[in-house]
Amino acid sequence: MRRMLALILTGLLTIAAVACSDDEVTTTPATSATSSPAQQTPPTEQPSTPSPTSPPPTATVGDTIDLTGVETEERLAVTVVKVVDPAQGENQFSSPDSGMRFVAVQFRLQNTGTVVYDDSPSNGARLVDAQSQHFDAAYEDTTAGPGFPGSVAVAPGDTALGFITFEVPTASKLAKVQFAMNSGFSGNTGQWKVS
């Protein structure tokens, strides 16, 4: 009986921990999150009928999303610069498996925090297709451009630019690109829509 009670209690604690997690997916571009004082208009008298609110814009390729790391001092402004689909392997030894293709995504990582960003960017990057299948980075280079090295160290104010390669099924239609700091463990994931 005690063993069953312990198992039930463990299950309930696990459910509570998952429900109380601070994980969030950010889809709003940084430039639309705030407006400058010059763009703000003085308040006016509001009509008595409520107006429908439009949803916030969704980040797409070319947009920047502000992300936070595990520590409050860790911050990046991440831009998905371009998506090359399909991407060609760098040489004759680099080719996707049968029924698969390479996709290369170029990221710009600007350190907006106060500590060095020291991580392996490919560990926190994912592609999501239209069927909600998630794909991790492949350790291949393509002719799309230079990839990130195994890890990068970016000082506050500095920027890193590089491609991350993914291997996805030939029939998959890309839908989203995701990126999170701290090898994907930060709890704050940026998400860009791919059209």
Does an H or E element contain 113, and which?
Answer: none
pLDDT > 90 in the chain, percent: 68
Region for 132 from its dihedrals, namely left if φ exceeds 0, alpha if ψ lies in -120 to 50, beta otherwise: left
Beta bridge partners of 153: 118
Q: How high is the pLDDT of residue 93?
A: 87
CATH of residue 166's domain is 2.60.40.1240
Give a yes or no: residue 121 inside a domain: yes
Cβ neighbours for 104, distance < 8 A, ≥ 6 positions apart = 83, 84, 85, 87, 142, 144, 145, 147, 163, 164, 165, 166
Give a yes or no: residue 37 inside a domain: no
**Rg of the chain over CA atoms, in angstroms?**
21
Q: Identify the band that residue 106 occupies on the pLDDT scale cut at 50, 70 and 90.
A: very high
Give a yes or no: residue 42 inside a domain: no
Q: How many domains does the chain have?
A: 1
pTM, rounded to two decimals: 0.77
Answer yes or no: is pLDDT of 166 > 60: yes
Give a yes or no: residue 180 inside a domain: yes
Give a yes or no: residue 12 inside a domain: no
Answer yes or no: is pLDDT of 20 > 50: no
Give a yes or no: residue 20 inside a domain: no
Give a yes or no: residue 2 inside a domain: no
pLDDT > 70 in the chain, percent: 77
Give a yes or no: residue 67 inside a domain: yes
Give residue 137's domain range. 57-193
